[in-house]
Copies of this chain bind each other. A is one copy, B any other.
Amino acid sequence: MNQRQMEIICVGNELLIGKTLNTNAHWMARRATSLGINVKRITVVGDNVDEIANAIREALQREPRFIITTGGLGPTFDDKTLEGIAKALNSKLEVNEKALEMVREKYEAFAKAGRIEKVELTSPRVKMAKLPKDAEPLPNPVGTAPGAIKRVNETFLIALPGVPSEMEAIFEKSVAPLLRKEGGENLFFEASIYADDIMESVLAPLIDRIMHDNPYAYIKSHPKGEEGKPHIEIHFSTTAKDAKTAKDRLGKAIIQLSELIEKNGGKIKPKKTK
Q: Which residues of A are interface residues toward B (Cβ below 8 A)?
A: 13-23, 25-33, 39-47, 51, 55, 58, 74-78, 110, 113, 115-116, 122-125, 128, 142-144, 163, 165, 188, 190, 199-205, 207-208, 211, 218, 220-223, 226-228, 235, 237
Minimum CB–CB distance from A220 to chain B (whole Å) comes to 6
Q: Which of B163, B200, B211 contacts A74 (CB 8 A)?
A: B200
A-B contact pairs, 24 of them (CB 8 A): A16-B40, A17-B33, A18-B31, A18-B33, A19-B30, A20-B26, A21-B23, A22-B25, A22-B26, A25-B44, A40-B51, A42-B43, A43-B43, A47-B220, A74-B204, A75-B201, A76-B200, A76-B208, A77-B211, A113-B228, A115-B199, A123-B205, A143-B223, A144-B201
Among A18, A26, A163, residue most surrounded by chain B Cβ atoms (within 10 Å): A18
Given contacts A16-B40, A124-B202, 20 further A-B contacts (CB under 8 A): A15-B29, A17-B29, A17-B33, A18-B27, A19-B235, A22-B26, A40-B51, A43-B44, A58-B58, A74-B223, A75-B201, A75-B204, A76-B220, A78-B220, A115-B228, A123-B205, A124-B204, A142-B227, A143-B227, A144-B200
B75 near A200 with CB under 8 A, answer yes
B26 near A76 with CB under 8 A, answer no
Q: Count identical subunits in the complex.
A: 2
Minimum CB–CB distance from A176 to chain B (whole Å) comes to 14
Contact partners of A26 in chain B: CB under 8 A: 18, 20-22
